[in-house]
Structure 1
Amino acid sequence: MASRRFSKGVTSLVLFSSLASPSFAGGLERGGYNIDQLFDTSPFSFQSGVTYVTPQRKLKDVRDTETSLSSGGNLNSRPNSADETSNYTIPYIGFKAGFGDAVDCLVDYSEPFGAHTDPGSNWAGANNNIETEIKTRNYGGTCSYRFDVGPGQLRFIGGAFYQEVEGFKERLVSTVPLLFGTGTGVGRLDLDDSGWGWRAGLAYEIPEYAMRASLVYNSRVKYDNLTGTVDLRQVPVVPMFGGQVTPVFGSAEAPDSLELKLQSGIAPDWLAFGSVKWTNWSVLQSVPFCPTSTKGVVACKSGGSTELTSLDLLYQDGWTISGGVGHKFNDQWSGAVSLTWDRGTSQGYGAQTDSWTVGLGAAYTPTEHIEWRVAGAVGVLTSGSSGVMTRNGVTFGDDVSYSFGNDLVAALSTSLKVKF
């Protein structure tokens, strides 16, 4: 039987050690949504942490398959390989407060979704991508109400969050300006919007056994007013929109998700844990952008007559399965190890394939009020290829094709929690 003291010590480590693995999951996943601090047994706690991720995805056998001058020209004389990914950090700040014996509330800041690919202009696929970056900022508030049921407590969870998104994409639109010295030929899309989401869930806990089961649903966030600009000042030869900045609009959704988490003491000072998460990445296919002047006149749709550019993702739903064990060595030190599998969201277009990750973590508690945590993870991004796909009668990926092998990814996380 595990004691309540054991529950406080090892459980907190387990909740943190799993953070490093999902940091390079499929889709636009970064930190994802995490409300584990809500379960902290202290009346009040403040936590601040950061995760640093270094993916090493390298594209090879790159071939420019759309070689007309108006589509970037023939780039097959450029290098046929490129380092696609960039390092990134994921911050988190949260404050949890307990009210009486039944109510707990958490307010937090996180960056759940994002992406940054930066292969540059000197590769054969520059007409597809030079640099793309998407960032989100999430401000959440979540509360729970718990009461006795059987040998443990049942907890109802609910909350809301406000989310901001911004990003850009640059690619080589035409090589004609280069021939006449009138521009770089690079076009740029900028975008931003914000929206609201909500969450609801249930949890059941038996502290004496360090047992907890939770099921939490996070809603979609609708970006119905996704606005921005297409900058073609470096591409003056493009008909109608060349040589100018054009305001554009579109719409998209951040995906909803459902996550089941389980943990239980299995022996004195030992804990087993696991989770299964589904993320509805298939809501992100191709996001078209049309001139603002056409808004309300003609529908802005992928492949439509008014589409000026698009952000093509073509994702399938993501699944993430994780499991591991934690051990409390003494009153100050605990450790944990985890294994995570994430199903890739690419389906023959893009480079997001399955990944396998091993995570290691440690927690140091010098006093009952301070807890420092550190964790690391190393994983494999599996091999694959990208090429032509057709969705709803629209062809994608006919501008470039490439392959990639098994690549490494690593992450380091650190966090400090103050409890009072």
Structure 2
Amino acid sequence: MKLNAIQTALLLSLVPTTTTFAAALDRSGQSIAAFLQPNNYFEAGITILDPNVSGKDISQNNTGNMANHYYSPNAALKIQATDKFSIGLIYDQPYGADAEYTGHSNFIESRPVPFKGGTSVTVDTENLNLLFGYQPNQNWNLYAGAVYQTLDSTVLLRGQSYSAYNGYDFKTGRDEAVGWLAGIAYQVPEIALKASLTYRAKIKHEMNAYEKHGAAGMTPSPDINAGFTQINNSEGQTEITTPQSINLDFQTGIMENTIAFANLRWVNWKDFAIRPYKFGKGSVLSDIVKNTGKKDGFDLVAYTEDQYSITAGVGRKINDQWAGNLSVGWDSGAGNPVTTLGPTEGYWNVGVGVQYSPTPSTFIAGGVKYFWLGDAKAQSGSQFNTPGYVAEFENNDAIAYGLKIGYKF
């Protein structure tokens, strides 16, 4: 059973193993499978996610669907420079969020004030990975590389769920930072066995973000009003560090023209937190501390657990032109209760993919996955690490669609 006879089946992993609702901000799954393809290889694809996430606030108001649909492009180029050295470029959008509350709930400010509107969040990241591989023989591949990452995010807090932080604005603008990755892969082409282990380091961003406490002068507390006004006129740096992660990928032939495959992923969300400069300064004002009991303040976004996810399935080559696969996936989430800006706890999913190869060197593939999103209680920042919550989200789902083209040369 030769790898060349069935390798096309593995290319059917079209829809990312994780999404923005998987755990925290995880979106692409950060696969390097394209870099481990034989010879020279190029691919480009797009994934579209259509989620439905709704619930009820503690006043039993319906939130409506707060999750926006989004698309995520990706591309990769791998060149086998010599028998022992390879180089590659991979572009993806590893982390993100896109949500907005509408309608009538505790996440909406409907009074005629300057910050009227709904709570919303957008987080966009882009990674350009430059990889170098060394193959001492036909079985082993040692690789490492640099990661150039951009981050752009906006958070608007609105409604009584956020108390004095109703009207808070946070905008980072586009920030750039650099990180690294390293890994090892092993293959036995005769039995279509391939395994890889990839570590990605955390990437630290520092910026002078735009922040404003919109409720300054409008709260019942003179202490908070004066404090917010003073803080609004101050400046300081905000730090956002995207998390470290580990991916383990495995495939093996199980019969002629058929492979089994699995992807396991760990992301260190437990150590991730966002505490913008002015947000943090406001959280230690005396009257806010009296209400929250947190003398050291609190974060805008934080998670209590790491993410663990797995996708497993089988792929089969039907003939020289057609192949297909089936998969099932599970994600742990990053703790529950969770932030109001992404109120789900992991998922289960099932997926199907099909690939058509008009020539031996080209293919076009498509796939779809259905997600059962985990129920969650949603917290404001001041409630983190307590049992308190401001809303519950249940019985939600999502559908993801993927399309990919590839060229082997």
TM-score range, shorter chain: 0.7 to 0.9
Indicate if the aligned counterparts of 2:63 and 2:102 stay in contact, CA closer than 8 A.
no
Indicate if the aligned counterparts of 2:329 and 2:350 stay in contact, CA closer than 8 A.
yes
How far off its partner does 1:5 sit? 2.2
Listed as ranges, the matches of 1:54-203 within 5 Å are 54-60=50-56, 62-63=57-58, 79-120=61-102, 122-126=104-108, 130-148=119-137, 153-172=139-158, 186-192=167-173, 193-203=175-185
1:330 and 2:314 correspond? no
TM-score (norm 2): 0.83
1:401 and 2:383 correspond? no
- Which of the numbers 219, 235, 239 marks the counterpart of 2:226? 239
How far off its partner does 1:357 sit? 0.7
Give the structure 1 partner of residue 222 of structure 2. Answer: none
- Residue type at the aligned position of 1:172: R
Indicate if the aligned counterparts of 1:160 and 1:199 stay in contact, CA closer than 8 A.
yes
Give the structure 1 partner of residue 207 of structure 2. Answer: 226
- Residue type at the aligned position of 1:383: D
Indicate if the aligned counterparts of 2:197 and 2:246 stay in contact, CA closer than 8 A.
yes
- Which of the numbers 334, 349, 355 marks the counterpart of 1:357? 349
Give the structure 2 partner of residue 42 of structure 1. Answer: 39
Residue 101 to residue 405, structure 1, CA distance change in 2 (3 Å): same
* Distance (whole Å) between structure 2 residues aligned to residue 124 and residue 286 of structure 1: 23
* Distance (whole Å) between structure 2 residues aligned to residue 246 and residue 411 of structure 1: 43
Indicate if the aligned counterparts of 2:313 and 2:325 stay in contact, CA closer than 8 A.
yes
Q: Per residue, is there more strand in 1 or in 2?
A: 1
How far off its partner does 1:369 sit? 2.4
How far off its partner does 1:162 sit? 0.9
Residue 259 to residue 21, structure 1, CA distance change in 2 (3 Å): closer
- Structure 1: gaps (5+ residues): 64-75, 176-184, 292-299
How far off its partner does 1:227 sit? 2.3
How far off its partner does 1:8 sit? 2.9
Residue 153 to residue 255, structure 1, CA distance change in 2 (3 Å): same
Indicate if the aligned counterparts of 2:372 and 2:397 stay in contact, CA closer than 8 A.
yes
RMSD: 3.0
- Structure 2: gaps (5+ residues): 110-116, 219-224, 287-295
Q: Which moved more, 1:186-195 or 1:197-206?
A: 186-195
| Count of aligned residue pairs for this structure pair | 377
Indicate if the aligned counterparts of 1:119 and 1:131 stay in contact, CA closer than 8 A.
yes
* Distance (whole Å) between structure 1 residues aligned to residue 126 and residue 216 of structure 2: 32
Indicate if the aligned counterparts of 1:231 and 1:245 stay in contact, CA closer than 8 A.
no
Partner-residue secondary structure (3-state), 1:30: coil
Indicate if the aligned counterparts of 1:230 and 1:245 stay in contact, CA closer than 8 A.
no
Q: Which moved more, 1:233-242 or 1:191-200?
A: 233-242
- Residue type at the aligned position of 2:136: F
Indicate if the aligned counterparts of 1:173 and 1:235 stay in contact, CA closer than 8 A.
no
User: Identity of paired residues, percent?
Assistant: 23
Indicate if the aligned counterparts of 1:200 and 1:216 stay in contact, CA closer than 8 A.
yes
Indicate if the aligned counterparts of 2:298 and 2:382 stay in contact, CA closer than 8 A.
no
Indicate if the aligned counterparts of 1:134 and 1:165 stay in contact, CA closer than 8 A.
yes
TM-score (norm 1): 0.81
